[in-house]
Structure 1
């Protein structure tokens, strides 16, 4: 696995990413848990493909320009990355807020993207007046783990020490910069998804209590032709709790593109 850096936007933005494997490129976009939450999936997919796992600016201590404050900024950055690296036939895989970014990328209709995979994505409203997406930052670690994992005692992303806890808190602050108000969604996205022309796989951990299964089904129904797959014994991070199943689903989806 190679750790890389690339300068984008006339060398005004530095983007860090890991790059491993060969073959079709998969761009893996993390959520508020940071790039480590996607590294296992990246390694598994890299056995038969090329995987790139970037770190959104501001996460894990990476610099974030003051002007970078919206999901739209990240979308433009990843479009620029595809151009800079001359990537083609790319499958974009996004978890949580990374799924939101992936959906927005697909709406840009870049000829470099072949399809998207949304893993317990956020970004749309809940479809129920007064019902909001759960804010994990307002919960104690044990409560957050219980909502995010089917088996939190096995898979919880608990910090290993004070430095790791501080880094996790900083990641949550950065997440709020990009996606804080309205919390974790863009009011027009659900209606705009009707214009998506790229193939989409929406895979959902059945035990997720951050964004539940009905939210996932609503996401899939909003995208023309999207395929919905329910993953049992997994929650907000199905690619961690049921990695082999997620790799199988992604592989089958990519093979059909």
Structure 2
């Protein structure tokens, strides 16, 4: 694995051949790093794992400022790296960024995979407000088996027990807004022209399976896969099942 900084974005690269861009959610790169190594090894793939500007202790620059801006920054990153045939995989907030990247229609991206993504608004299936929940309550919502939660880190938009929002949470809120959604996104997804695969944990208590079905239904031709015994972070809880879903077909 190597680490570089390109256009203000720190990028970990697990180098092989086929290219994947793996986008993390609100808890940062630690939630995707192990899966990146697994994907690189099993798929013989080059896996790029960027840290969203403002996450991981880095200062948040003046730009990008919105989720759409962030997606455009990643499209520019792929141009700078001169990569083609890239599969973009995003979890949670990273899934929203991946969906926005799909809408940009970059010729360098051949497929987008949204894994328990947020960003849309669905009647009857609200995004769970996790603010003020204890770590135990948050783990129960995020994992099918809370015992598989990797230590004290929080996968959601609040840092339980902290005196105030962490830098990562502040960066997330700056990009995603207080509702963690964009009321225009669901309608805009109809303009997606590249293949999209929506993958969802059956036990996700942050955004339920009905929300995931609505995500897939809004995207022309999208595939929808439900992973049993998995919650909001399949790459942490059921990495082998997620890997199989990514490489299927």
In the superposition, the TM-score normalised over structure 2's length comes to 0.91
Larger displacement relative to structure 2 (210-219 or 58-67): 58-67
CA contact (8 A) 1:159 1:168 kept: no
Larger displacement relative to structure 2 (62-71 or 209-218): 62-71
In structure 2, what is the Cα distance between the partners aligned to 1:19 and 1:39? 10
The equivalent of 1:203 in structure 2 is 199
CA contact (8 A) 2:126 2:207 kept: no
The equivalent of 1:242 in structure 2 is 238
The equivalent of 1:28 in structure 2 is 22
Structure 2 regions of 5+ residues with no counterpart?
A: 155-161
In structure 2, what is the Cα distance between the partners aligned to 1:200 and 1:21? 24
Closer, same or farther in 2 for the Cα pair 1:167/1:49, shift >3 Å? farther
The equivalent of 2:81 in structure 1 is 85
1:125 correspondence with 2:121? yes
Q: Cα deviation per residue 1:156-185 (whole Å; 9 max; x = unaligned)?
A: 44149xxxx79982211211111123x111
In structure 2, what is the Cα distance between the partners aligned to 1:71 and 1:61? 19
The equivalent of 1:3 in structure 2 is 3
Q: Cα deviation per residue 1:119-153 (whole Å; 9 max; x = unaligned)?
A: 1000110223xx63113343211111110111112
The equivalent of 1:11 in structure 2 is none
Larger displacement relative to structure 2 (64-73 or 143-152): 64-73
Structure 1 regions of 5+ residues with no counterpart?
A: 9-13
Segments of 4+ in structure 1 off by > 6 A? Answer: 165-168
Q: What root-mean-square deviation, in Å, do the aligned CA atoms of Structure 1 and Structure 2 show?
A: 1.8
1:224 correspondence with 2:189? no
State the shift of 1:24 in Å: 1.1
The equivalent of 2:37 in structure 1 is 43
In structure 2, what is the Cα distance between the partners aligned to 1:88 and 1:166? 44
Closer, same or farther in 2 for the Cα pair 1:240/1:105, shift >3 Å? same
Secondary structure (helix, strand or coil) at the match of 1:111 reads coil
Secondary structure (helix, strand or coil) at the match of 1:123 reads coil
CA contact (8 A) 2:141 2:204 kept: yes
In structure 2, what is the Cα distance between the partners aligned to 1:168 and 1:232? 32
Superposed, 1:55-70 pairs within 5 Å as 55-70=51-66
Q: Cα deviation per residue 1:43-95 (whole Å; 9 max; x = unaligned)?
A: 01111110000000111111211343311221111011011101101000000
The equivalent of 1:172 in structure 2 is 169
**Aligned residues between the structures:** 240
Closer, same or farther in 2 for the Cα pair 1:168/1:93, shift >3 Å? farther
Match of 1:145 among 139, 145, 166: 139
Q: Cα deviation per residue 1:175-220 (whole Å; 9 max; x = unaligned)?
A: 1111123x11111111111111111111100000100000001111
Closer, same or farther in 2 for the Cα pair 1:200/1:174, shift >3 Å? same
The equivalent of 1:107 in structure 2 is 103
